[in-house]
Amino acid sequence: MQESQKGAEPGYEYMLEAEDISLSFGGVNALLSVSFAVKKGEIYSIIGPNGAGKSSMFNVISGLYRPQRGRILYKGTDITSMPPFKRAPLGIARSFQNVELFKGMTVIDNLLLGRHIHMRTGLLSGAFFFGKAQKEELRHRAVVEDIIDFLEIEHIRKKPVGTLSYGLQKRLELGRALALEPEILLLDEPMAGMNLEETEDMARFILDINQERDTTVLLIEHDMGVVMDISDRVTVLNFGELLATGTPEEVQANPAVISAYLGSEDSVFLAGRAG
């Protein structure tokens, strides 16, 4: 990746900033004074053991949760109080850990739903499908067809989602997020439950989205091999607290990070890579 892609654009230093985020549910601290910043063009990963607060952080960024303390900045603008439906048009899209698709609808229809924030047709022209409505429909379908080609899912384009394998549903969920044409894409465990071939395909798509579509990626993933291979920088959370931030090489050599993973397969991987 070229260094120019990693730098800031005029007017703001970082694409996304989490500043001193604290979130609790009753007496349980999900996040405790967590801060990090993502540059434009990065693939930035958040890792940590189960219950570390990773998905809670994504929910704060996307507006599903409101933190008790701290703020979220997008391109230098405070969006902490902004509801989720207003964040998507700014250029923020996400996928979910559990597949959230409309199973009775086709692949194409699910992708077209991802275009909803770009639809401008009025009720009358939309109802009778003429003029601007017809032209807009053609534009949206062109975007969807491009995503279908990009994700190599031409063979399932008209199939009901409920008939697809889990791996293809995860790929489609990625496509629906892409349909929003985001500037930053939040991916919550996109490889979860996939076999090796599906994981490799997903990693390739993420790299292509980042490099060819100039999209910043914020990634939560448990597959340490993928994280260390494709990430520019990594933040490690543990029990809601920030444990470490740095390049993959710095993180996997950090004794505190290795210690946090002790007793898991990831700890052996991290220790081995550090050595």
Reduced 3-state DSSP string for 116-139: HHHCCCCHHHHHHCCCHHHHHHHH
Q: Identify the pLDDT of residue 1.
A: 37
C-alpha–C-alpha distance, residues 272 and 275, integer Å: 5
* Whole-number Cα distances in Å, 21 to 138, 178, 208: 42, 27, 31
CB 214, CB 5: distance < 8 Å: yes
Domain termination site, one of 181, 215, 230: 181
Q: Are residues 85 and 15 in the same domain?
A: yes
C-alpha–C-alpha distance, residues 112 and 177, integer Å: 11
Task: State phi, psi for 189 to the nearest 5 degrees.
Answer: 50, 60
Bridge-based pairing of strands 216-220 and 43-47 is parallel
Name 21's bridge partners: 34
Total structural domains within the chain: 2
Residue 122 predicted with pLDDT over 60? no
Q: Are residues 15 and 39 in the same domain?
A: yes
Per residue in 198-257, pLDDT (tens digit) is 999 999 999 999 999 999 999 999 898 999 999 999 999 999 999 999 999 999 889 888
Q: Are residues 192 and 113 in the same domain?
A: no
Q: Are residues 86 and 193 in the same domain?
A: yes
* Whole-number Cα distances in Å, 256 to 46, 111, 152: 16, 42, 41
Per residue in 126-137, pLDDT (tens digit) is 444 545 666 777
Residue 98 predicted with pLDDT over 50? yes
Q: Identify the pLDDT of residue 96.
A: 81
198: left (phi over 0), alpha (psi -120 to 50) or beta: alpha
Q: Are residues 25 and 137 in the same domain?
A: no
Residue 103 predicted with pLDDT over 80? yes
Residue 190: which domain range? 1-91+182-275
Q: How far is CA 154 from the centre of its chain?
A: 23
Q: Are residues 140 and 221 in the same domain?
A: no
Helix (H) or strand (E) holding 172: helix 166-178
Count of helix runs (H) and strand runs (E) in the chain: 12, 10
Q: Are residues 64 and 173 in the same domain?
A: no
| Higher per-residue confidence, 270 vs 147 | 147
C-alpha–C-alpha distance, residues 186 and 58, integer Å: 7
Domain termination site, one of 158, 181, 204: 181
Q: Identify the pLDDT of residue 8.
A: 43
Q: Which token pair is 122?
A: 């009025």
Name 244's bridge partners: 236
- Give which of 218, 241, 238 is closest to 230, Cα–Cα: 218
Q: Are residues 85 and 198 in the same domain?
A: yes
Per residue in 57-88, pLDDT (tens digit) is 999 999 999 999 999 999 999 999 999 889 98
* Whole-number Cα distances in Å, 197 to 90, 148, 168, 203, 211: 34, 19, 12, 10, 21
Residue 159: which CATH number? Answer: 3.40.50.300
Residue 2 predicted with pLDDT over 90? no
Q: Are residues 190 and 272 in the same domain?
A: yes
Q: Are residues 9 and 84 in the same domain?
A: yes
* Reduced 3-state DSSP string for 179-219: CCCCCEEEEECCCCCCCHHHHHHHHHHHHHHHHHCCCEEEE
Q: Are residues 206 and 257 in the same domain?
A: yes
CB 159, CB 106: distance < 8 Å: yes
DSSP 15: S
Q: Are residues 134 and 193 in the same domain?
A: no
Domain termination site, one of 148, 181, 214: 181
C-alpha–C-alpha distance, residues 118 and 122, integer Å: 12
Q: Crossing angle, helix 196-212 and helix 166-178, to 10 degrees?
A: 10
Residue 125 predicted with pLDDT over 50? no
